[in-house]
Chains A and B, each alone.
Chain A
């Protein structure tokens, strides 16, 4: 089937009709949209899980969602429109967002961008979530990447930081913002460290850090965390001397559970240790005072919620990226 047979006008007309039908309901609906969110996923992704993630997102980031599912070569080009609603607790009006699903084979992928162009909500931001990194790198989807103000990837699918770094460099574009869910997974670590160091001046600054992880080889998460410390603490010329990087358990943990195990900072009058052996708890030790904190494993929806909440330039991520090459040189 060619793209012409699936022109965007027809899909939008279908959606209009669905809205009209919904509008006849007694409770009434609120049509909510703050962006176009394109989710491009490979055939290996569980469609139910993808759907649940997108449905979860609509509460905080109501959007026109375009789910692009890329199957094997020869898979037919198909489209489907739907409207997803949720009823806030204690309210009588449903809040609804529209979703367009496009299924395409690898060989018909180049037909997709023209359809997508017509489906973008005018005057609102466009974000592209590409959980499969290899899909993001396909040349057929380059026009879609160019369209998106923000491209969200998840480099945790690559075990090695070195390989992740190569692909990140390929994806970085002049006009778009690149975001990595691995960076969003670090927010909790960074935030706890910020709180632990809060109020200290230079005299009590740490001069050495140690980061440990599970599973060989050196993971993207440890690369980002080290690069952030180097960037924020002004250690750019002494990465090797200041940051110790070590694998503490060569066995690879289950996917999604996180590979970072500990972060320690030492200074003349500063001893901070964050340790997360496994599970959802984190032990904190600040200058001899111990405490615990919850450290839930965030799913894709929670991480995307955070990323979509950062609409513009993410200064600290961008700055950290510039120190990744130095960290990779220091890595075991």
Chain B
């Protein structure tokens, strides 16, 4: 029968025309009154509803300690959506329909009674909203609650659905541990109750449209991949710079630091996306296998290498845009003697045939001159320069994949200067993602929520990937613990510590100014 898929399910789908939509389901958000829910999750869900990506049979059940009625929860969420909805006006009629599917349950994550009440409420929702018994549990709580929540859900039988065809998934926010041992311990706890294929570890960087575009750029075009190797690539720089400081998150940040907060997860995932081998098919397992393989191929530094190939920094007071900026240790909630890295830079090597010997320079920092995330692939110079002049020597071909804020791709190459004589000058060919398509790109949370609801784990990290990333950064963390850093070692508003420039200079390279 034409309308039946391989699973015997009706398939009226028209992928050429229909936007991908979530199946009937309930999302249970633990930490429903928290910042992430208010700022990101509910606006993203509302946007999905606005764009017809959520079915009429859909429900959101907020769980938090604060006692609230369903109506009060709806009211609070409406205020949040009105405030944080980006790039589109708030539609009151649509909200009225969307809000019918919002529910609330108060309770303590450590209380076993909560899970029985949760089970009853989900059964009620299934009957009244026809969610098909499908549930996505979203842990938007403190990381210390991940284990107890998974255990509570498991003990109450909520990790298994009421029917064989229904699904239960557990979505966990980062950080996944604070080192390898704690990551392994968290994985073990969660996996006692949920199978690995039920667990979705979110790294919102992977949900960014332009990070996904890296895959399209690499594997959708035939002309770049032949150049994507040690023969043509001189080195790669990955930069994630923030102009802001810790913005009230001083307490959390001083425990984490730039290496744990940005590089261990986001930037290593970006690096894996840039450097991985082409998957045989574009399917979650195949893509994640290649990413994991790449992460496992990153050379683990010895302690001697860690000293040379890593740089920690912390910003001190400085000036930017005519304003005086406080140093990290002067930020509210931060220990005045804190040894936290607000800047981290690493030189990494991938030990495989494609990348052997090519340095990957990765850096991330706070209070840098601008907010920018990009990847710069610097190609080797022409083997013989026919043209004189400094330009020909100093500006080798460069391919820059910009992730934020101006998503796009630019290629630097040489062009002849107009007029007589043969002088050349570097020029760039630019592709701007937003302006070239003229349409709003979905937020990372919209993409990732829809993926999790649809069972597509391509952009989620897997246990082996998390552990491989921790293995990469652990020698650096150990080295830094044993080192006395002369913090602060860079001024707010500058491009980081001088040692970072020296790290590249040892291999004859310099950081770009993005």
**A→B interface (CB under 8 Å):** 30, 32, 58-60, 62, 88, 91, 93, 95, 184, 187-188, 190-202, 204-205, 231-234, 281, 284, 286-287, 289, 291-294, 306, 310, 314-316, 319
Task: Evaluate contact between B12 and A197: CB separation under 8 angstroms.
Answer: yes
Task: Evaluate contact between A191 and B9: CB separation under 8 angstroms.
Answer: no
Task: Evaluate contact between B17 and A187: CB separation under 8 angstroms.
Answer: yes
Task: Evaluate contact between B16 and A201: CB separation under 8 angstroms.
Answer: no
Task: Evaluate contact between B436 and A32: CB separation under 8 angstroms.
Answer: yes
Known: A198-B23, A202-B8. A306 touches B56 (CB 8 A): no
Residue of A nearest to B130 (CB): A289
Confirm or deny: B486 has a beta carbon within 8 angstroms of a beta carbon on chain A: no
Chain A residues within an 8 Å CB radius of B14: 187, 190-191, 194, 316
Chain B residues within an 8 Å CB radius of A293: 52, 56, 97
Confirm or deny: B281 has a beta carbon within 8 angstroms of a beta carbon on chain A: no
In the bound complex, how far is the Cα of B100 from the Cα of A233, in angstroms? 31
Among B2, B13, B16, B52, max chain A CB count under 10 A is at: B16
Residue of A nearest to B18 (CB): A191
Task: Evaluate contact between A195 and B21: CB separation under 8 angstroms.
Answer: yes
In the bound complex, how far is the Cα of B453 from the Cα of A195, in angstroms? 13
Cβ contacts A to B, 27 pairs, < 8 Å: A60-B437, A62-B436, A88-B438, A93-B435, A95-B438, A184-B17, A187-B17, A187-B18, A191-B14, A191-B21, A192-B52, A194-B12, A194-B13, A194-B18, A198-B21, A202-B10, A232-B3, A233-B2, A284-B56, A286-B56, A291-B97, A293-B52, A293-B56, A310-B17, A314-B16, A314-B17, A316-B16
4 tightest A-B CB contacts, nearest first: A59-B438, A291-B56, A234-B1, A194-B12
Chain A residues within an 8 Å CB radius of B21: 191, 194-195, 198
Chain A residues within an 8 Å CB radius of B56: 195-196, 284, 286, 289, 291, 293
**B→A interface (CB under 8 Å):** 1-4, 7-14, 16-19, 21, 23-24, 50, 52, 55-57, 91, 93-94, 96-97, 100, 128-130, 132, 134, 165, 432, 434-439
In the bound complex, how far is the Cα of B7 from the Cα of A88, in angstroms? 45
In the bound complex, how far is the Cα of B57 from the Cα of A282, in angstroms? 15
Chain A residues within an 8 Å CB radius of B18: 187, 190-191, 194
Among A194, A198, A310, max chain B CB count under 10 A is at: A198
In the bound complex, how far is the Cα of B93 from the Cα of A201, in angstroms? 33
> Given A199-B132, A316-B16, 9 more contacts at CB 8 Å?
A95-B435, A191-B14, A195-B56, A197-B12, A199-B134, A234-B3, A291-B100, A293-B52, A315-B16
Chain B residues within an 8 Å CB radius of A197: 10, 12
Chain A residues within an 8 Å CB radius of B128: 289
In the bound complex, how far is the Cα of B3 from the Cα of A292, in angstroms? 26
In the bound complex, how far is the Cα of B438 from the Cα of A58, in angstroms? 9
How far apart are B162's CB and chain A's nearest CB, in angstroms?
14
Task: Evaluate contact between B9 and A88: CB separation under 8 angstroms.
Answer: no
Task: Evaluate contact between A205 and B55: CB separation under 8 angstroms.
Answer: no
Residue of B nearest to A280 (CB): B93
Task: Evaluate contact between A195 and B2: CB separation under 8 angstroms.
Answer: no
Task: Evaluate contact between B91 and A294: CB separation under 8 angstroms.
Answer: yes
Residue of B nearest to A292 (CB): B97
Chain B residues within an 8 Å CB radius of A88: 434-435, 438
In the bound complex, how far is the Cα of B435 from the Cα of A30, in angstroms? 10
In the bound complex, how far is the Cα of B24 from the Cα of A319, in angstroms? 28
Chain A residues within an 8 Å CB radius of B13: 194
Task: Evaluate contact between B129 and A289: CB separation under 8 angstroms.
Answer: yes
Chain B residues within an 8 Å CB radius of A319: 2
In the bound complex, how far is the Cα of B15 from the Cα of A315, in angstroms? 10
Task: Evaluate contact between A190 and B12: CB separation under 8 angstroms.
Answer: yes
In the bound complex, how far is the Cα of B14 from the Cα of A319, in angstroms? 12
Chain A residues within an 8 Å CB radius of B91: 294
Chain A residues within an 8 Å CB radius of B439: 59-60
How far apart are A54's CB and chain B's nearest CB, in angstroms?
14
In the bound complex, how far is the Cα of B55 from the Cα of A319, in angstroms? 26
In the bound complex, how far is the Cα of B432 from the Cα of A192, in angstroms? 33
In the bound complex, how far is the Cα of B130 from the Cα of A88, in angstroms? 42
In the bound complex, how far is the Cα of B67 from the Cα of A282, in angstroms? 35
Chain B residues within an 8 Å CB radius of A201: 7-10, 165
In the bound complex, how far is the Cα of B165 from the Cα of A49, in angstroms? 51
Chain B residues within an 8 Å CB radius of A93: 432, 435
How far apart are B183's CB and chain A's nearest CB, in angstroms?
34
Task: Evaluate contact between B55 and A30: CB separation under 8 angstroms.
Answer: no
Pick the contact of B435: A91, A195, A231, A306 (CB < 8 A): A91
Task: Evaluate contact between A281 and B93: CB separation under 8 angstroms.
Answer: yes
Task: Evaluate contact between B93 and A289: CB separation under 8 angstroms.
Answer: no
Among B24, B94, B129, B439, max chain A CB count under 10 A is at: B24
In the bound complex, how far is the Cα of B394 from the Cα of A28, in angstroms? 27
Residue of A nearest to B50 (CB): A294
